[in-house]
Structures are given as C-alpha cells and as structure tokens.
Amino acid sequence: MEQPYEGIFIVLILFLIVYLNFLAVRRFYYYFKDYTKEISEFLKEKGLTLIEIKKPETEDWKINPFETKDSSIIEFALPFSMRVHYFFIVEDKKNIIKEYWIRNRTPLFGKRKTEFKIAKTKRPRAENINHSNNDFIDFTKGFCPACSTKIGINDKECRDCGLVIGQ
C-alpha cells in the first residue's frame, strides 16, 4: 500500500521542480527580451511616430516616471518582481517631441504587467541643437560613407548607391 503513495509523492516533487524551473526561465526571458512589439502596438494606438528606443543610462534614471530602477541579476533568486525599463522618443501629429517610458514587471507567480508613462521632463528638440560641426565632411579616405564602395577623389557621386559627394 505504501508504493502508490511514494509514486504520487515522487510525481508531485518532479512536477514541482519542473514548474519552478519554468518560472525561473520565464523570468530570464522577460528580463532579456526587447519590447519592440509592445512599443509598436502602443505607437499605432496613439498615432505616434517612433524616433528612437533606448535602454536607460545613469543620467536617464532622474526623469524616470516610474521612480524605480531595473532589477539586478541578484534579484533573480528572490521572489520579488523583476523590473525592466526602456524609454523611447516619439513625435506626434503636431510635430511635438515626447518621451515615453515602458516598464515590464514579471513576478515569480502571476501575470506580467507592461506599463507606459510619459517622462517627467522634456529633452531638447533636435532643431535647437547646433550642427555646426557637421557642415563639412571629408570624403578623401577613398570610400563612400553610405555603402563603403571605393570611390575616386574626383568623383562627384558614388557609382554604387548614387550618393552625391561633392559639388
């Protein structure tokens, strides 16, 4: 009579081990995954044009609307929610530049939650940036900057991609 109970106990232990491994792998997946699909769905819904997606650096955390940081690798061992943040810069139909943040929280048990918020402060518009250093670009290295095809010093246009090089 004891053998059936031992078999059920072993099956239960094996199921528990497989399930906990599944939860751990799931957390790793959502921690290292990119969120371009979620961001593109958000942009389509709001009618926005994407300019750039970035992973936050040290100075970016100051304007984080969620007021939390990414989880560390050490937190994988703890039963708390894993947090991953990205921010992306968009332009709306009125040509206004906005910055949104995305946070994904993945608990050990339960559903993951993806949230979007607008940044606390605005970054400067690209039109206000001084581009004086980009007025003259030297192409005397012998290669097209667009397609890396070999070009002559006197060529006015790239033979391969058609980039106009000089006047």
Residue scoring higher pLDDT (127 or 87): 87
Which residues of the chain form beta strands (DSSP E)?
49-54, 82-91, 97-106, 113-118
pTM over 0.85: no
99 vs 87: CA distance, rounded Å: 7
Give the residue among 113, 120, 115, 119 at the shortest CA–CA distance from 100. Answer: 119
pLDDT of residue 136: 40
Neighbours of 139 (CB within 10 A): 15
Contact 88, 39 (CB under 8 A): yes
pLDDT category of residue 149 using cuts at 50, 70 and 90: confident
pLDDT of residue 76: 66
pLDDT category of residue 12 using cuts at 50, 70 and 90: very high
What does the pLDDT average to over 31-37? Answer: 77
pLDDT of residue 14: 92
pLDDT for residue 50 is more than 60: yes
For residue 121, list its beta bridge partners: none
Give the residue among 86, 82, 123 at the shortest CA–CA distance from 101. Answer: 86
What does the pLDDT average to over 102-107? Answer: 85
